[in-house]
Amino acid sequence: MITTLAVHGYRSLRDLVVPLGGLTVVTGANGSGKSSLYQAFRLLSDTSSGGLVSALAEAGGLSSVLWAGPETISRAMRNGEVPVQGKGSRRRPVSLMLGFATAEFSYLVDVGLPTPSRSLFAGDPELKREVVWDGPVLRPATTLLTRLRGAVKVRAERGWETVVEDLGPRESVLTTLSDPRGYPELAAVRAAVSSWRFHDDIRTDRRAPARQPQIGTWSPILDHDGRNLAAAVETVRESAWATVLDGAIADAFDGTTLEVTASDEGLFFLSLRQPGMLRPMGVAELSDGTLRYVAMATALLSPRPPSLLVLNEPETSLHPQLTEPLARLITAAAHRTQIVVVTHSAALVSAIGHEAPDAVQHELVKELGETRVAEQGLLTRPTWDWGSR
Ligand SMILES: Nc1ncnc2c1ncn2[C@@H]1O[C@H](COP(=O)(O)OP(=O)(O)OP(=O)(O)O)[C@@H](O)[C@H]1O
Ligand SMILES: [Mg+2]
């Protein structure tokens, strides 16, 4: 289980350390930094598939996603005694850092500005530093692997051993050192991160992948854009979770039942049989909210749940009546997988709190443009050290 997510220098997340539980609900006003937190989580997961640099480029490039405020915010600035201002020159290099901790191992990546060159890729940000350590807190004694620019060192029986000298600036140790026998802790980090799944606002327009005919193969994981929805629904319906899924749909839509049929060509078709209708409604005919709810239920009831599921505003386009069924689904799924829900729905927060009183709840607030966890003090902020380049 991930116990801590840490973000430094990403949009309004100047320096955020968030403790996580088995089920964590993150809420906050518009602009408080919820989506940024969700995106930061995704960027970390992109690192394990080699996609961090391109994901940053898609987000507008490093310079646009970097924290736009001063390097440090003094007490006098916070108290409003002096205006917010940057000091003449930076004390530390420009850096965007992302990390997470579990009780067993932890990881951080530090991304910075490119070294000037004549290459057409000269604008790509670079992975300057990566660290893997034992346990939740980074200290010299717990460090197991460090990557500083091109050089990767691992702790060996006698001191440190350099295992790679020329790792490319856009490559991560997570994708390049792939031998699990040589680097068991790295393999553990990669296995954890690559099994995280994210569900954002799934597309529901007429051309949405979820509404298209789909080749059906066994699909324990719903694709984030829903392109395998029919197969994923059928996978749940042929598992021990069939009655729970049927119950969740009937609970939400008054006795409606799901149906999946297959054509001779192996195409799967999802439809809903609603009381009062003479024929089932195909997936192309479902309302946006119905389609979203079916997708959410399918993702949450996977027979092979991911180790971590992060849901961004799962309540989008759902009628308030569906808030409680959704909260029940989320809390039931949290018994099998770690879940983080990012939401601005107070109703969903309170429904989850009602179903799962031990869920961790965080409210994000903005102070001088910086996202902070409300009421987090020195004692409630998990210990987190970024180290240095
Ligand atoms: N580079 C940056 N530096 C500092 N702040 C930034 C930067 N880029 C964006 N922001 C600010 O970060 C805030 C966070 O936006 P975000 O989309 O995460 O909010 P949100 O909580 O998801 O809001 P909503 O509920 O409206 O979706 C915005 O107020 C935005 O102005
Ligand atoms: Mg948002």
Q: For residue 314, what are the contacts with CB-CB under 8 A and spacing of at least 6?
A: 199, 296, 326, 330, 341, 343, 348
- pLDDT (average), residues 184-203: 90
Protein residue with least CA distance to atom 11, ligand 1: 12
For the ranges 23-32, 85-94, 197-206, 217-226, the lowest mean pLDDT is seen at 85-94
**What predicted TM-score, i.e. pTM, was given to this entire model?**
0.93
How many beta carbons lie within 10 A of that of residue 324, not counting itself? 18
In this predicted structure, the answer to whether residue 89 has a pLDDT above a threshold of 70 is no
Comparison of pLDDT for 332 and 94, the residue scoring more = 332
pLDDT at 42: 94
**Any ligand 1 atom below 6 A from CB of 68:** yes
In this predicted structure, the answer to whether residue 87 has a pLDDT above a threshold of 70 is no
- pLDDT (average), residues 6-32: 97
pLDDT at 210: 95
Protein residue with least CA distance to atom 18, ligand 1: 33
At 86, the pLDDT band (50, 70, 90 cuts) reads confident
Token pair 């601005």 is found at: 344
In this predicted structure, the answer to whether residue 262 has a pLDDT above a threshold of 80 is yes
pLDDT at 60: 86
Average pLDDT, the chain: 93
pLDDT at 107: 97
pLDDT at 82: 83
Tell me the CA–centroid distance for residue 6 and ligand 2, in Å. Answer: 19
pLDDT at 88: 62
In this predicted structure, the answer to whether residue 91 has a pLDDT above a threshold of 80 is no
Q: What is the pLDDT of residues 3-12, one digit of tens each?
A: 999 999 999 9
Q: What is the pLDDT of residues 286-312, one digit of tens each?
A: 999 999 999 999 999 999 999 999 999
Ligand 1 atom index nearest CA of 66: 1
Domain assignments of the chain as residue spans, ordered by start = 2-195+363-373, 204-291
Residue 262 dihedral angles phi and psi, to the nearest 5°: -125, 140
Q: How many helices (H) and strands (E) does the chain have?
A: 11, 18
Protein residue with least CA distance to atom 26, ligand 1: 30
At 85, the pLDDT band (50, 70, 90 cuts) reads confident
Tell me the CA–centroid distance for residue 199 and ligand 2, in Å. Answer: 13
pLDDT at 310: 96
Q: E strands along 135-266, which residues? A: 143-148, 151-155, 160-164, 196-199, 214-215, 257-262
Indicate which ligand has the atom closest to the C-alpha of 30.
Answer: 1
If you write DSSP's letter for every residue of 14-37 in order, what string do you get? EEEEEE--SEEEEEESTTSSHHHH
Protein residue with least CA distance to atom 13, ligand 1: 31
How many beta carbons lie within 10 A of that of residue 134, not counting itself? 16
pLDDT at 219: 95
Comparison of pLDDT for 161 and 72, the residue scoring more = 161
**Any ligand 1 atom below 6 A from CB of 39:** no
Q: What is the pLDDT of residues 333-379, one digit of tens each?
A: 999 999 999 999 999 999 999 999 999 999 999 999 999 999 998 88
**Any ligand 1 atom below 6 A from CB of 32:** yes
pLDDT at 73: 83
Comparison of pLDDT for 305 and 123, the residue scoring more = 305
